[in-house]
């Protein structure tokens, strides 16, 4: 049995004060929840505040990116040690906005995932096709390539430190959610790809989240699909009430 996980990605939203206010509202609303893991990915500047606010709760904190080098002359970048020092335990890697606007590739994803794991963080590694690729019938091929080239050379032991997020780019921030069937089909393809590279047991243990316009009113249908182990939630994670409602999808 894979434990479900609901993760929020705040993107470039929330100051430290707004982060405190968010947790003040979220924590009482999810007090009795124990059916899933919960993660919140805040901007770097709010990580320490988020960790402090989430201490003693079920919520783990994530960064949204990390550099692949341990340290060095990389102006504007943040290392795994800096992130881990805040008490943060996860980082998102290869989000489609990073791939689209900041030049991330399968190669940088591979380096970043390895560095994050080596530094003791769990990596939420994102894959997903753009609309033109889906319309051209290439969605499966694109995602299989992202898995093979970005994640396929990890050791099997490393797999227990990664979570996959399948995020079709056409569904992110657009209000156009993939149907549960479309999402589940791709999750099964991703799991099959990992089974080919590693083995069935390793692939079965891997948690694969769906991301793309997840809201309180569509989460339950997505979570009913066997291969969907949770959600990576952008816009709807910014409001504590809607994020709590998604967490309580049962
Ligand atoms: C995301 O940022 O990963 C995401 C899925 O965003 P949204 O839920 O807003 O589509």
pLDDT digits (tens, 9 = 90+) for 116-132: 999 999 999 999 999 99
For residue 183, the CA-to-ligand 1 centroid distance in Å is: 14
Res 41 pLDDT > 90: yes
For the CA of 235, the closest atom of ligand 1 is 9
Residue whose pair of structure tokens reads 């994670």 in the numeric block = 237
For 71, counting Cβ atoms within 10 Å of its Cβ (0-12 exposed, 13-18 middle, 19+ buried), the class is exposed
Write out the H or E segment, with its range, that includes residue 165: strand 162-166
Largest CA distance in the chain: 48
Q: Would you state the pLDDT for residue 31? A: 94
- Of all residues in the chain, what percent carry a pLDDT higher than 70? 100
Q: Quote the CA–CA distance of 202 and 188 in Å, as a whole number.
A: 14
Active site members: 95, 167
Res 27 pLDDT > 90: yes
Res 173 pLDDT > 90: no
For residue 199, the CA-to-ligand 1 centroid distance in Å is: 30
* Predicted confidence (pLDDT) per residue in 55-95, tens digit: 999 999 999 999 999 999 999 999 999 999 999 999 999 99
How much is the mean pLDDT over the chain? 97
């Amino acid at each position: 049995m894979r434990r479900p996980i609901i993760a929020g990605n705040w993107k470039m939203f929330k100051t430290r004060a707004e982060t405190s206010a968010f947790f003040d509202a979220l924590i009482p609303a999810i007090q009795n929840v124990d059916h899933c893991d919960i993660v919140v990915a805040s901007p770097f500047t709010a990580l320490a505040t988020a960790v402090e606010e989430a201490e003693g709760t079920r919520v783990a904190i994530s960064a949204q990116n990390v550099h692949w080098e341990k340290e060095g002359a990389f102006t504007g970048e943040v290392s795994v040690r800096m992130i881990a020092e805040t008490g943060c335990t996860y980082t998102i890697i290869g989000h489609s906005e990073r791939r689209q606007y900041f030049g991330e590739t399968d190669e940088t994803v591979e380096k970043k995932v390895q560095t994050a794991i080596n530094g003791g963080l769990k990596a939420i590694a994102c894959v997903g096709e753009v609309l033109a690729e889906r319309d051209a019938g290439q969605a499966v091929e694109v995602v299989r390539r992202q898995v093979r080239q970005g994640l396929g050379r990890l050791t099997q032991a490393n797999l227990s430190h990664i979570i996959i997020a399948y995020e079709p780019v056409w569904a992110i921030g657009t209000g156009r959610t993939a149907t549960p069937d479309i999402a589940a089909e791709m999750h099964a393809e991703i799991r099959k790809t990992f089974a080919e590279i590693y083995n069935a047991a390793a692939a079965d243990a891997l948690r694969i989240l769906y991301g793309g316009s997840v809201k309180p009113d569509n989460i339950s249908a997505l979570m009913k699909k066997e291969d969907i182990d949770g959600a990576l939630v952008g816009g709807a994670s910014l409001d504590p009430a809607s994020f709590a409602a998604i967490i309580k999808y049962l």
